[in-house]
Structure 1
């Protein structure tokens, strides 16, 4: 396991301990960076019109298509540290 991956996994645990819940935009950014860092480019079909939450999450993740896994992990770690 690389040092970046270890820090990424630790940040994923740390984010659960943030005392003040971030706004929707920040939560979507956290979600999309985590998914891009752990799974790569978005997969599957875009959720339907009535699934607002699923659609927002899908769109946030899709906006990072082409971003490398390492870059997404580094940005995720930085964002979690900023929120702590």
Structure 2
């Protein structure tokens, strides 16, 4: 592990995730989404979806399940998850 600060490592992990081309299982996608939202918005940015869209309901549920962790914890978990996915495909 390098001495890079958390925000730098988070941005790098986001770039890696943005460049991933393989399809991930839905549960992994939801976990990544939840960590990202908690890391960038916390529950401050949470709004109840206005439609009965099932996809948004799953995303909201995933986010709410980790709402108890801090933004920094969510960043660390996001980084770990993305890095583990990249190492699996090598």
TM-score of the two chains, using structure 1 as the length reference:
0.88
Contact 1:47 1:58 survives alignment (8 Å): no
Once residues 78 and 64 of structure 1 are traced to their aligned partners in structure 2, the CA distance between those partners, rounded to angstroms, is 15
CA deviations 1:33-66 (Å, max 9, x no partner) are 0000111126111454x31000000000011112
Q: CA RMSD in A?
A: 1.6
Equivalent in the alignment of 1:51: 53
Q: Does 1:71 align with 2:40?
A: no
Poorly superposed stretches of 4+, deviation over 3 Å:
none
In structure 1, the gaps of 5 or more residues are none
Measured after TM superposition, the shift of residue 17 of structure 1 is: 2.1
Q: Which runs of 5+ in 2 are unaligned?
A: none
How many aligned residue pairs are there? 82
Give the structure 1 partner of residue 16 of structure 2. Answer: 14
Distance 1:46 1:19 in 2: 28
TM-score by length of 2: 0.82
Secondary structure of 2:66's aligned partner: coil
